[in-house]
Amino acid sequence: MRVKSTFFIHCFSGSAEKGVVEVTNCFCVPHKEYEDLVEAELNYAMDLFEMNLKVNKQESIVGWWATGNEVTSHSSVIHEYYSRECSNPVHMTLDTTLQGSHMGIKAYLNVPLGVPGGKQGNMFTPIPVEIVTYEPEIVALRHCQKTVQLKKGIEPVSDLAQIGEAAEKLTGLLDAVLAYVEDVLAGRVPPDNAVGRQLLDMVHSVPAITPEMFENMFNSNIKDLLMVVTLCQLTKTQLQLNEKLTLLTSM
């Protein structure tokens, strides 16, 4: 008896080295769910992987992920297939219900269980997950988040506006750190050694420069930014004029 699909399956591709699996790509695997089994279109999945391999020759299958907040009864069946495709595949679950205003991400490794000569089994054991993103991706995602409560799109933010938003956010973070330190010194909050070490590392990472040097560096970068913005506006205006002139000459 076929049941309604309750999750989506995707195949991971990436690399594994020194006990760390880096996932750099993924693609959807169409499937049909039944009460006691899952039928996946494996030929379609392998065709996609081979096409991806032509562009990213260093990538290989490293595991799979599915939507949901927990491991299901179908997970072992799907994981068994990926165990034949790669050694010790990673299984990840992605909770799309947005509980707690964020997507819950959990990763697992399949560990065999049992006694010698007895019945064998397996168990999905949680492993740490770290999300690594590039700075341009973070900026783009934060910009997209602004449209969550809006019914219309928004225009891209200028570079100067982004600097203003970043400075405002940095000011808020500094205020939170100062408030925490003052509460610890006043005895209102118990000290946390881990937080203290992180704050110390942060202070040591700041280069020792005078306020005058910092102001000169900041002003120099602002001048470069203003020059780039001006050139971009001139280029945009020139393209618009060229488009209108081309339209007039063609009439």
Q: Which two tokens stand for residue 31?
A: 């499937």
Q: Contact at 8 Å (CB) between 26 and 59?
A: no
Neighbours of 45 (CB within 10 A): 22
Q: Quote the number of domains for the chain.
A: 2
SS3 content of the chain, % helix, strand, coil (to 5): 45, 25, 30
Q: What is the pLDDT of residues 25-69, one digit of tens each?
A: 888 887 777 666 777 777 887 888 888 888 888 888 888 888 877
Residue 159 located in a structural domain: no
Q: Is residue 80 part of a domain?
A: yes
Which sign, positive or negative, has the C-alpha torsion 231, 236, 237, 243? positive
In a domain, 122, yes or no: yes
- Do 13 and 118 lie in one domain? The reply is yes
Q: How far apart are CA 110 and CA 86, in angstroms?
A: 13
CATH of the domain at 122: 3.40.140.10
Per-residue pLDDT at 15 exceeds 80? yes
In a domain, 181, yes or no: no
Task: Give domain status of residue 136, yes or no.
Answer: no
Is residue 133 in some structural domain? no
Average predicted confidence (pLDDT) for the chain: 80
Q: Is the pTM of this model over 0.95?
A: no
Banded pLDDT at 175 (limits 50, 70, 90): very high
Residue with tokens 């064998």: 120
Residue 13 lies in a domain: yes
Last residue of a domain, one of 84, 99, 127: 127
Determine how β-strand 60-67 pairs with β-strand 90-95.
parallel
d(CA 10, CA 66): 6
Of 127, 143, 168, the domain-final residue: 127
Residue 22 sits in which domain range? 9-127
**What is the chain's Cα-based Rg?**
26
Q: Which of 100, 127, 154 is the last residue of a domain?
A: 127
- How far, in Å, are 129, 135, 158, 236 from residue 232 at the CA level? 40, 21, 11, 6
Better pLDDT: 174 or 99: 174
Report the pLDDT averaged over residues 137-152: 76
Query: Do 122 and 16 share a domain, yes or no?
Result: yes
Asked if residue 225 and residue 115 are part of one domain, the reply reads no
C-beta neighbour count of 152 within 10 angstroms: 5
Q: Does residue 242 lie within any of the structural domains?
A: yes
